[in-house]
Amino acid sequence: DILDPALLRPGRFDRQVAVDRPDRLGRKKILEVHSRGKPLAAGIDLDALAGQTPGFTGADLSNLINEAALLTARSGKREITQNELEEGIMRVIAGPEKKTRIMSEKERKITAYHEMGHAIVGHLLPNCDPVHKVSVISRGQALGYTISLPAEDKFLTSRAELTETMAMTLGGRAAEELVFNEVTTGASNDLEKVTGTAKQMVMRFGMSERLGPRVFGHDRGQPFLGRDMGSEPDYSDEIAREIDDEIRRIVENAHQTARDILDERRDDLERISEILLVRETIDADQFVALLEGASEEEVFPPESEPDATEEDYPSEPEPVNKPTTEPSPSPPRPGYAGGMTDMRSDRS
């Protein structure tokens, strides 16, 4: 993006090829290549696995299979099962579980309600991606996380999708306010994301009803000859104040939407959050069943075995993989792993 335009003048390069992230079919083909020679258990569906990894690059998919194979070998198994593949996905997205991080019961409870706030708001808003997993297990810099995955690869994002995703993102903070009558620094990344999204809606996407369909600010051009990267204003101070007011209005409306939903479903928020504290991780089917009124005993029968976690594998020092997609205020890119909706960060 910062190449001198002189390098790309006509005649110097006959063809320029844009290499984007693979779509679902591409991810399936890549997984087939990297899983050759690996002992996958019967019933493993690589197409379904490709659907769980939107936004993953070829390198990410290779790491996923390798992580799953390592976990299988360490546990003494002969075949890679769905549990190892699920853990491989989580390691690529967020790194391994932090076994040494000990949180107080108060912090665990706040984290559980925070994550469940995200999940409930996201599930009840029709334009949010489906909730895939909710957990209070620490990974990387996150104290807990809520993952939502799109049903299919996306290339466009509507205003309704942006505003409802913002409400979901603020669901954690809204839950803290509602239940504890207090907010914590754990929602700082959520605020950064929704503020950035609202700013782009107003200044870049022309989605402000008050300011109309126009773009505010223009790029500085190529970052050469002493120029900085970024944009510079092409509007008055009065318009700048209106932009700030509109950004604030959009964020506050999203926050109020989250508050209204959680206020109406407070009983579910408290009931399922307490279950999350005990179970630590709730998957999509379990979450939907609980939200529809099923009891903990119905969803988690005594004879059922819990999913494999880090504790099931021998402990070895491992590098922490960085998330596939850095937290960004930008709206979802094509194939974006709508993915890590919330990684609740450490409070320092």
Specify whether the CB–CB gap between 118 and 172 falls below 8 A: yes
Q: What one-character-per-residue DSSP string does 42-102 give?
A: TT--HHHHHHT-TT--HHHHHHHHHHHHHHHHHTT-SSB-HHHHHHHHHHHHH-SB-TT--
Chain length of the chain: 348
CA separation, residue 123 to residues 193, 288, 316, 348 (Å): 19, 8, 37, 30
Per-residue b or e along 161-194, where b marks 16 or more CB atoms closer than 10 Å to that residue's CB: bbbbbbbbbbbbbbbbbbbeeebbebbebbbebb
**115 catalytic residue (yes or no):** yes
**Nearest to residue 272, comparing CAs of 260, 256, 283?**
283
Coil vs helix vs strand at 116: helix
Measured CA to CA, the distance from residue 131 to residue 151 in angstroms comes to 10
Instruction: Find the catalytic residue in 86, 115, 164, 177.
Output: 115
Q: At what angle do helices 171-180 and 105-124 cross, to 10 degrees?
A: 130
Which DSSP symbol is given to 286?
H
Residue 329 to residues 190, 206, 322, Cα–Cα distance (Å): 9, 16, 18
Catalytic positions are 115
